[in-house]
Structure 1
Amino acid sequence: MLDIPSSVRVDVEALLAAQNHMGVCDAIEQYAPVGKPDTMTAPHFPKVAGIDSTVPPPAHTVAPASPAPAPPSSPGAPGAPGAPGAPGALIQDRLAGWVSDLTTLHELTERLARTAVMDDALHEVLRAGAALVGARRGLVVLEPADGLGPDTTVGLGLARADLGHIETVPRGATSYGRILDRTDGTGEPEVHADLLSEDGLDPRHREVAARLGYAASFALPLATEAAGRLGAAVWLYDEPAEPVERQRHLVGLYTRYATEHLARLLELERARAKSRTIAEELLPPRLPRVAGVQLAARHRTGPRGGGDWYDALPLPEGALGLTVGSVTGSGASAVAAMGRLRASLRAYAVMEGEDPVAVLSDLELLLRLTEPARSATALFAYCEPALRKVVLAGAGHSPPLVIGERRTEFVETSLSAPLGMLACWEAPSVEFSPEPGETVLLYTDGLLHRTGDPMDRAFARLHAAAAGVPRTIRDDPGAIADHVLHTVLPDGLDAADSDEDVVLLAARFE
């Protein structure tokens, strides 16, 4: 973050005394903005870089009264200490411009710092840069130099089709392409003040520029020594133009900070992607086909990766084992623990799956001996599709939900503690028989927790969502799972960043 002082004080007496030997003026000159200073006649918030700033003016500034004409002998006459052309007035104008620029950069970088997702940050960089250089449109090409991705292109004022047209221009003929292909790592901008009149402009580039209606461009690399090269930003002008020196100075300061922020988000994005990949690889790549039952699963992983799992395992004599569960904690360690428990449960299910209590008892003993600091909730169901018979046991887990034409109800299960919480876990099993066409929905607690409601309201919301499944999709377990997921977690809550994983496993009995 830029180190911007909260206030700048000017000692008027010192300024007046400095007219003779200009000591103050020389000191301020060292901190003046690059380029020729803009003359200001009032300390109100000025235009930034030649355009109207998007940042509101500071509340403490007021417009001064217009000075009345004064006789030559008075203090306000030309050449007097308070005259508009005196060095004191020039110093105040420079200070006001300096404070204005710093305030603008502070506001823009504060907005950028509040973004927590890469896509939001890229859009904010484009909007802020466009305000600083006086452009309406632009694009950011994210292409980290290490080649590990992610690679993406984001536009401002450009539709996806417009970005597609720009991407048809040979890479070496574009501003961002030349920046990204540099090997010396320089941070020099690419300026094209009048594209259509340039000699040697690529014909395809000329055609695309004319079609999209831009006549000039200004491009900067998103690169610092610490972060390396992350990509390039390009702003487009409707008419021949280029940013002045002051604009280049401001946008250069902003993009240096923006690159550091994007580098942090990039590292976080890669860590999340790795965690999601590992979690997905530890879950079944596909669900088995078993006569008499249709299966579907939905899984949403939190940003740090959680320990929720599901599984469907064919068992001898046409039986089927269904399980969902959740390991406490998040991150790589929880994902690894989830993988170990799921693999162990599969082994116990093959050996004694017809007795769900024994399966969970063995799993609890393993957890207590190998992971004493963890606990887990789990549910295991032994299904015989030919008989439409289900025997299940749960360890601190939410009860399954039966969804059918005539009923939508939670299965009555006994109260039990999570695995690893007691010296010896034990709970009775429950047996029930789904009717033909009914779907048994298993889910993890993340579905309820993501609603943000108390548990009683979350259960009521889940029941209402299941009861409202349209008749036209009741024969499709995948459609049922999607309907429940999007109804319980509307407005993108199912995809939003959350510490809670979500798992749904639907089994429709024929």
Structure 2
Amino acid sequence: MNAPHPPKVAGIDPTVPTPAHTVAPASPTHDAGPSADTTPSVPAPAAPAPGALLQDRLAGWVSDLTTLHELTERLCRTDALEPALEELLRAGSALVGARRGLVVLEPGDGLGPRTTLGLGLGRADLGHMETVPRGSLPYGALLDTGANTGSGTNTATSTGTSAEIVHADLLAEDGLDPRHREVAARLGYAASYALPLSAASGRLGAAVWLYDEPAEPDEHRRHLIGLYVRHAAEHLALLVEVERARARTATITEELLPSRLPRVPGVQLAARHRTGPRGGGDWYDALPLPDAALGLSVGSVTGSGPSAVAAMGRLRASLRAYAVMEGEDPVAVLSDLELLLRLTEPARSATALFAYCEPALRKVTLAGAGHSPPLLIGERRTEFAETSVSAPLGMLACWEAPSVEVQAEAGETVLLYTDGLLHRTGDPMDRAFARLHAAAASIPRSLRSDPGAMADHVLRTVLPGGLDAADSEEDVVLLAARFD
């Protein structure tokens, strides 16, 4: 056991440097008479000017407020949960003078989201900390009960609804959990300072900063970090609600889409779907039809959010009914769908593409309403089907467009997609179409027997550099049908 020694006080590395406020010393006066002693003398320290102490104190307050204003402004510019947590850790690190830290998001209502994020700690480091018994972690008591606990040199204080847990010298504590001692030695931290994340809506989690040597923030630094964390917790509470709303919308969207694709002899199917943060109205469907036929559809309802998701569900369900009754005539299917949309939801429009597939003949009859043409991918050709240009559903008094027949060869794949795939690229439409064509043409031969692998390749190639991230504004749908 290490010998106990007095902890030092951690300083602060402010993001805004504190201006120096000094008072110039009064100039010494000398007697110019002939009897004056010419030997230089050390002037006595000048007394502070009236109000100098008050001026310095006010200057310190202004500096603190400036620092907090800059940090909270940077935090408020974050619009997603993970960047906000990262900013919280960086700002807290500067305020308490610690190099590393972690934040545990664990809302008290149990509804999530739950996550752990580290500053200066890798995934393996966080994994080591998770092996420590929860009650022995530097922040464990804040998550379990929020009550103040203490053992050894650990101190915990509480003011109102805020609390803190300070381990000024972990390795010198008699009651430290052996596993915690082992992990602290492995990761190289000797002290910690933890604060709860609590908002008006309840507990959100806890944040802890780790010191490489025995240390603790002084009272002034604790006051600053307390002010900052209280503001940060309210901002995080709003982002948690946004994240929950996004998750609920995404869940509803997924439930409105097929949970699995049908198995139809002569054709293999695969689908990929990416939902935007507000929830969009893109859909896909694959429906077995009489006479061993197959109906394929993709489409997009205008708008975003729960109303667009609900409209998408109604439109997709209606299209399935029309496909069962008259699927062999795609123009009739879309005409009925357009009439329904115009009568029941006159303020909304949609694009759609419906394809009637006969796998035994490898023949596809399709019609589109303002939708991008499907892509035919094979060993000897990669080309867009030449569908006629037509208006979206709900835009004209009466929609009408001719159908197109596509004859596929054995081993060829028909790729249906929504416009979100093109919009996520950020390119003009002509370049986006060229990018999609190049991505389809570059599919390796080893992947062409698997429509799912082909769809994944197209996504990775068309949307590189994170454009396929879940928080993109546009929905994306890919539906691939490979004919045997």
Q: TM-score, normalised by structure 1?
A: 0.85
Q: Give distance in 2, aligned partners of 1:474 and 1:182.
A: 56
| Match of residue 106 from structure 2 | 143
Distance 1:507 1:395 in 2: 20
Q: Does 1:125 align with 2:88?
A: yes
Summarize the Cα distance change of 1:353–1:291 in structure 2 as closer, same or farther, 3 Å threshold. Answer: same
Structure 2 runs not aligned, ≥5 long: 1-8, 32-42, 148-159
1:276 is aligned to 250
Residue of 139, 148, 164 corresponding to 1:189 = 164
Query: In terms of mean alpha carbon deviation, does 322-331 or 109-118 score higher?
Result: 109-118
- The yes-or-no answer on 1:71 pairing with 2:25 is no
Say yes or no: does 1:364 pair with 2:338: yes
Does 2:190 align with 1:215?
yes
Q: Distance in 1 between matches of 2:44 and 2:76?
A: 47
- Name the SS of the counterpart of 1:242 in structure 2: strand
| 8 A Cα contact 1:193 1:242, kept in partner | yes
Separation (CA, whole Å) in 1 of partners of 2:109 and 2:23:
58
Q: Which amino acid aligns with 2:321?
A: A
Matching of residue 493 in structure 1 with residue 456 in structure 2: no
1:379 partner letter = L
Greater relative contact order (Cα < 8 A, sep 6+) = 2
Kindly indicate whether the alpha-carbon contact (under 8 Å) linking 1:400 and 1:410 is maintained by their aligned counterparts in 2.
Answer: yes
Assess if the C-alpha contact under 8 Å between 2:21 and 2:56 holds in 1.
Answer: no
In the TM superposition, what whole-angstrom CA distance separates every residue of 1:287-316 from its partner, at most 9, and x where no partner exists?
111111111111110000000000011111
- Which of 397, 401, 405 does residue 371 from structure 2 map onto? 397
Aligned residue runs from structure 1 range 330-479, under 5 A: 330-479=304-453
Question: For structure 1, which runs of at least 5 residues remain unmatched after alignment?
Answer: 1-47
Compute the displacement of 1:350 (Å): 1.1
Indicate whether 1:285 and 2:285 are aligned: no
Q: Does 1:51 align with 2:9?
A: no
Give the conservation status (yes or no) of the 8 Å contact 1:214–1:239.
yes
Counterpart AA for 1:53? P
Per the TM alignment, residue 98 of structure 1 is displaced from its structure 2 partner at its CA by: 1.4
1:252 equivalent in structure 2: 226
Candidates 246, 249, 272, aligned match of 1:298: 272
Post-superposition offset of 1:475: 1.6
Equivalent-residue separation in structure 1 for 2:334 and 2:353 (angstroms): 8
1:171 to partner: Cα distance: 1.2
Deviation string for 1:399-439 (max 9, x for gaps)?
A: 00111111111101111111111121111111110111111
Counterpart CA distance in 2 for 1:451 and 1:403 is 21
**CA distance in 2 between partners of 1:324 and 1:152 (Å):** 35
For 1:307 and 1:326, locate their aligned partners in 2 and report how far apart those are by CA, in whole Å. Answer: 5
Judge conservation of contact 1:78–1:85 (CA < 8 Å) in 2: no
The structure-2 alpha-carbon separation of the partners of 1:72 and 1:334, relative to structure 1 and needing over 3 Å to count, comes to farther
> Counterparts of 1:71 and 1:228 in 2: how far apart (Å)?
66
Match of 1:25 in 2: none
Return the alpha-carbon distance in structure 2 between the equivalents of residues 205 and 186 of structure 1: 27
Partners of 2:85 and 2:321 in 1: CA distance? 47
Letter in 2 for 1:330: S
Q: Which amino acid aligns with 1:130?
A: S
CA distance in 2, matches of 1:495, 1:352: 38
Amino acid in the other structure paired with 1:71: T
**Cα pair distance change 1:452/1:63, threshold 3 Å:** same
1:44 — aligned with what?
none
Give the corresponding residue for 2:152.
Answer: none
TM-score in terms of structure 2 length: 0.89
User: Which amino acid is the alignment partner of residue 431 of structure 1?
Assistant: E
Kept in 1, the 8 Å contact 2:143–2:205? The answer is yes
1:106-145 superposed Cα distances (whole Å, 9 cap, x missing partner): 1111211121111111111111101110111111010111
Checking the alignment, whether the CA contact within 8 Å between 1:133 and 1:251 is kept in structure 2 is: yes
Deviation at 1:62, TM superposition (A): 8.1
Contact 1:109 1:254 in 2 (8 A): yes
| Counterpart in the other structure of 1:484 | 458
What letter matches 1:202 in structure 2?
A: D
Deviations 1:351-398 (A, max 9, x none): 111111111111111111211111111000000111010000111111
Distance of 1:51 and 1:339 partners within structure 2: 55
2:78 match: 115
Q: Is the 8 A contact 2:374 2:414 kept in 1?
A: yes
The CA distance in 1 between the partners of 2:99 and 2:145, in whole Å, is: 27
1:72 & 1:284 partners in 2: Cα distance?
97
**What's 2:477 paired with?**
503
1:263 is aligned to: 237
The aligned runs of 1:309-320 (5 Å cut-off) are 309-320=283-294
What corresponds to 1:20 in structure 2?
Answer: none
Q: How far 1:497 sits from its partner (Å)?
A: 2.4
Could you tell which deviates more after superposition, 401-410 or 174-183? Answer: 174-183
Cα distance change of structure 1 residues 175 and 288 upon mapping to structure 2, 3 Å threshold: same
Corresponding residue of 1:38:
none
Aligned to 1:205: 180
Q: Given the superposition, is the C-alpha separation of residues 66 and 364 from structure 1 closer, same or farther in structure 2, using an over 3 Å criterion?
A: same
SS at match of 1:317: coil
| Conserved? CA contact 1:294–1:477, under 8 Å | yes
Over aligned residues, Cα RMSD in angstroms? 2.2
**Is the aligned partner of 1:166 residue 2:129?**
yes
Note the alpha carbon deviations across 1:152-203, whole angstroms, 9 max, x for none.
1111111111111111111112231101122668411001111111122222
CA displacement at 1:477 relative to structure 2: 1.1
Question: What whole-Å deviation, never above 9, does each CA across 1:215-234 have from its counterpart, x for those lacking one?
Answer: 1110001113x232111000
Question: CA–CA distance in 1 between the matches of 2:178 and 2:29?
Answer: 65
Shift of 1:209: 1.4
Cα distance in 1 for partners of 2:365, 2:13 equals 70
8 Å contact kept, 1:115–1:121: yes
Aligned partner of 2:282: which letter? D
Verify the 8 A CA contact 2:414 2:480 in the aligned structure 1. Answer: yes
- Bigger drift between 490-499 and 254-263 goes to 490-499
User: Contact 2:23 / 2:52 at 8 angstroms: preserved in 1?
Assistant: no
Deviation at 1:468, TM superposition (A): 1.6
Matches within 5 A, 1:80-119: 83=46, 85-119=48-82
CA shift digits 1:16-73 (9 cap, x unpaired) = xxxxxxxxxxxxxxxxxxxxxxxxxxxxxxxx98333234x48xx6887975752389
Question: 1:227·1:259 contact (CA, 8 Å) conserved in 2?
Answer: no
Alpha carbons 1:399, 1:413 under 8 Å: kept = yes
Write the letter of the residue equivalent to 2:13. D
